Amino acid sequence: MKELLEEPKGTTYKDLLEVAFSTCDEFLLVKRDQLDLNKNAKQWIEEIKPHIKEIRRQDAWPGTTLLGHYADVYYFNCNQELKEVLIRKTERLYQWLQPELLEDICFYKNGKEWLATVAHEQIGVIMTEDENEIEKIRGIKGIKMS
């Protein structure tokens, strides 16, 4: 497990998304019940609605466990079109925060956590032990990991 020591922004963020989308098969975003979405976020959800694979009511996802309440966790397949949508909408990894967007983007490879974030705490963790994948991430200009 490798912790991101600085938030990936700009080109570094885009390059990280490139690696994530080429490595992983699924990602998730979260809508917490206790936080409203603003108009822009609601419009964005309408834009991505055709890509939503599943929405689950959960009280936990990578990096977060809620106590006494739930969230809607949106699941998506990784594909080129969605990668472009994410790149157009965000410029940094911890930008995934309500009320402007859904929260805590996380990626999965073969059903296992690959990248987990807790955006409001600015935490990002790469979960892979695959040395080739770690080297790809380390090769991204601007990436700093433990």
pLDDT, block means (10 residues), the chain with 146 residues: 95 97 98 91 94 97 93 97 94 96 97 96 95 95 94
The reported pLDDT for the residue numbered 19 is 97
In a domain, 30, yes or no: yes
Between CA 112 and CA 110 the distance in angstroms is 6
In a domain, 133, yes or no: yes
Counting Cβ atoms within 10 Å, is residue 80 exposed (0-12), middle (13-18) or buried (19+)?
Answer: exposed
The reported pLDDT for the residue numbered 10 is 97
In a domain, 144, yes or no: no
Joined together, the tokens standing for residue 42 give 């609601």
Run of H or E including 90: none
Q: Using alpha carbons only, how large is the chain's radius of gyration in Å? A: 14
Measured in degrees and rounded to the nearest 5, phi and psi for residue 8 equal -65, 125
Q: Which domain holds residue 31?
A: 2-139
**What are 2-38's pLDDT values in tens digits?**
999 999 999 999 999 999 999 999 999 999 998 899 9
Residue 74 CA, chain-centre distance (Å), reads 11
In a domain, 145, yes or no: no
Q: Count of domains in the chain?
A: 1
The reported pLDDT for the residue numbered 35 is 84
